Chain A
Amino acid sequence: MMLAVAEVTPAWYLILGSILFAIGSVGLLVRRNPLVMFMCVELMLNAVTLTFVTFSRMLDDIDGQTVVVFVLVVAAAEVVVGLGIIVALLRKQPAATADDINVLKG
């Protein structure tokens, strides 16, 4: 019997995207380390871009891929700012968790 090598359908990619997104959001909610939380955000972002590309392929529409390029650029900029803040924070307080950053509270 031929090994039932399942054909990779677009649904797989969508499922993978969903799983990645779920991991990212749960990680964001449960972890306290700012760096890890930040990585979780990135994970969610990439899950979404993966979904975009998939749909672009499914619908045979270039728009989805165009959006991904935009997302990458924005993500790069966001990483610069976000990482900058986190590094500055950890330098000052190496043991800081996300819950300690509540000084901006109104």
Chain B
Amino acid sequence: METLDLVWLIPALPLAGFATLLVLGRRLGEPAAGWLATAACGASFIATVVVFGALVDEDHHHRSHVYDLFDWLVVGGFDVKVGFLADPLSVTMALFITGIGTLIHLYSIGYMHGDPKFSKFFVYLNLFVFSMLMLVLGSNMLITFLGWEGVGACSYLLVSFWFSKDANASAGKKAFVTNRIGDWGFMTAMFLAFATFGSLDYRVVLEQAPEIAPVTATAIALLLFVGAVGKSAQIPLFVWLPDAMAGPTPVSALIHAATMVTSGVYLMTRVNPILAQGYDWGPDVIAWIGVLTALFAATIAVAQTDIKKVLAYSTVSQLGYMFLAVGTGAYVAAIFHMVTHAFFKALMFLGSGSVIHGMHDEQDMRRMGGLRKLMPITAGTFIVGWLAISGVPPFSGFWSKDEILLYAFDANPALWFVGLVTALLTAFYMSRQVFMVFFGDQHWRDAKGDHEVVQPHEPPWLMTLPLVVLAGLAFVGGGLNLPFTGDLHFLGHWLEPVLEGNEAHVDVATGTKVGLAVTATLAGLGGIALAAAVYLQKRRAPIEPQILAEGWRVDSSISAFVGGPGRQGFEGVATFDRTVVDGAVNGVAGAVRGGGKGMRVLQSGFVRSYALGVAVGVVGLLAYFLTRVS
């Protein structure tokens, strides 16, 4: 048996953890359930490393291996296997999903300490890791879709984990319903792909993609993008992600920053041959939606006061960068940014969780301040994440963001400019957060009224260890793909077999590249300086327009529409459904019932009348045949 066949173990281990915890979770209790879940995820990470090693040993252009576990659906020509695809892209994804997943499991043991539903949390968490791995490792679109729905369900369960509070329950519902719209796109794309290729298997689909009509290719790609827009929270379906922060913070770090929300980027990268076969405006749409989402979310993040909401909008914004990269053909940069973003954003979410934990569930940044002295490890690691996302060299975020901006510049300077403004805003709002939380005066002291006076404290080692590891990764993560010489393009070289020739090539002079990098760095530093002037030195009053704090009133507009004119439209549809659709169904039923009532009279219960009926029938039939014969 080949080592690569072990790929099925990667999702199987978290599934086993999930099944065990489902049965024994409550009996194991705290903290054993958490350790079991962590072990399942960690074992999956080790399996991934083994598969990764086996893949490296393969010849560069043959690094693609499919292991079919069993036939799932065989209906005529429609044949779906439960199979796993190990190639550079899927294994890269699996590596950071299981790696970061394990760290977050570990963190959760500390964070969920004392929660009455401790073991249930880890049941969901393991199920999530399993679904996410199915999503990235599936060898056909249907398995990916299975994982896609699985992570959606886990996201719903975990967002509304503390469902006794109304807001949490409705946040979960919002995430679910919004994602449904995206799922419609994914499903329609699958139907179209099956109609076109006669298969959903990636090998078949991607191999034949260069031969299909551009119209079909664009349609499939954009429908998949609709799915990605839902899952990865892009305009116009981003509204669910900020609300999803109602879930426990490790969930926000794992699902709503590092893994699930990036699955849209993964999907678009996976189907890059289809995207390449379509019309040129297809990728442009993706790039523009991405960059506008990045800018839009960044402006909202500037005025948020909830520590997690800032990070949520920041995630939406960074995902926009990834789609900008996908749209400009910079798939390597997209995956690169996905990985570095997973490092630093998971780090910052866990850091914010550590702060919330230390502040006894306080999330308002205005009540924080000066925490760096009391929580040195949290503050130190958070600052690493902050510098990384702000694009300060040599932190990881600088390298990945710079690469995206380079490709954007090559594709269309307008895209680059919007991206640059976003970079400045990113640095600004992240600095604002760091200064409000870790620097300045200690506002938690002047908490009055019903707020208890808290004594912020550093969390236990279980929670600080993942922070330190992630901080290290966020620092050195840029080393995955350094731009200096071709040899240092590790990630680009690694992903080459997946991307074939569809990766865009930038053709700009080294001077321009350096110029762009310097500009981006200056924008980042400028943002930091601006935030320092406003929030640290208080030289200017902060500008936080109400409209930004309310997220450009997108949510309230949707509510107003759905509550007002939209409502009437839906009522109309409902009336149509009640009268016409239901009317047809009930009409048929009524006609049958009426007919039956009429016929019932015949069954009188008198045997002799039946006999008469039979006799008359026989005579009638006989007469009929006799007349026919003669």
Contacts and interface: CB of A to CB of B under 8 A. Distances in A.
A99 interface: yes
A102 interface: yes
Contacts of B607: 37, 98-99, 101
Interface in A63-106: 98-99, 101-106
A29 B611 contact: yes
Given A25-B615, A106-B600, A32 B605 contact: no
A28 interface: yes
Contacts of B600: 106
Contacts of A101: 605, 607
A106 B605 CA distance: 8
Interface in B604-630: 604-608, 611-612, 615
A29 B606 contact: no
Contacts of B606: 98-99, 102
A29 B615 contact: yes
Contacts of A98: 606-608
A28 B608 contact: yes
A24 B608 CA distance: 13
Contact of B604 (A32, A37, A105): A105
Given A25-B615, A29-B615, A99 B603 contact: no
A37 B612 CA distance: 13
Among A37, A101, A105, A106, which residue has the most Cβ atoms of chain B within 10 A?
A106
A35 to B, nearest CB: 13
Interface string B568-598: 0000000000000000000000000000000
Contact of B612 (A29, A32, A105): A29
Contacts of A106: 600, 603
B611 A105 contact: no
A105 B608 contact: no
Contact of A104 (B605, B608, B611, B612): B605
Nearest to B619: A25
A98 B608 CA distance: 7
A99 B615 contact: no
Interface residues of B, number: 10
B592 to A, nearest CB: 15
Contacts of B615: 25, 29
Interface in B263-321: none
Nearest to A41: B611
A22 B614 CA distance: 14
Interface in B63-120: none
A29 B604 CA distance: 15
A32 B608 contact: yes
Interface string B25-57: 000000000000000000000000000000000
A29 B605 contact: no
Contacts of A37: 607-608, 611
A104 B607 CA distance: 11
A7 to B, nearest CB: 29
A22 to B, nearest CB: 11
A102 B603 CA distance: 9
Contacts of B611: 25, 28-29, 37
Among B600, B606, B607, B611, which residue has the most Cβ atoms of chain A within 10 A?
B607
Contacts of A28: 608, 611
Contacts of A25: 611, 615
A4 to B, nearest CB: 33
Nearest to A25: B615
A25 to B, nearest CB: 6
Nearest to A37: B607
Contacts of B608: 28-29, 32, 37, 98-99
Nearest to A34: B607
A35 B600 CA distance: 28
A99 B582 CA distance: 44
Contacts of B604: 102, 105
Contacts of A32: 608
Interface string B491-513: 00000000000000000000000
Contacts of A102: 604-606
B165 to A, nearest CB: 56
Contacts of A29: 608, 611-612, 615
A99 B608 CA distance: 7
A78 B605 CA distance: 21
A103 B612 contact: no
Nearest to A101: B607
Among B603, B611, B615, which residue has the most Cβ atoms of chain A within 10 A?
B611
A26 to B, nearest CB: 9
The 9 closest A-B CB pairs, nearest first, are: A102-B605, A105-B605, A98-B607, A106-B603, A28-B611, A99-B606, A106-B600, A29-B611, A25-B615
Given A25-B611, A29-B608, A29-B611, 19 more contacts: A28-B608, A28-B611, A29-B612, A29-B615, A32-B608, A37-B608, A37-B611, A99-B606, A99-B607, A101-B605, A101-B607, A102-B604, A102-B605, A103-B605, A104-B605, A105-B603, A105-B604, A106-B600, A106-B603
24 contacts: A25-B611, A25-B615, A28-B608, A28-B611, A29-B611, A29-B612, A29-B615, A32-B608, A37-B607, A37-B608, A98-B606, A98-B607, A98-B608, A99-B606, A99-B608, A101-B605, A101-B607, A102-B605, A102-B606, A103-B605, A105-B603, A105-B604, A106-B600, A106-B603
Interface of A: 25, 28-29, 32, 37, 98-99, 101-106
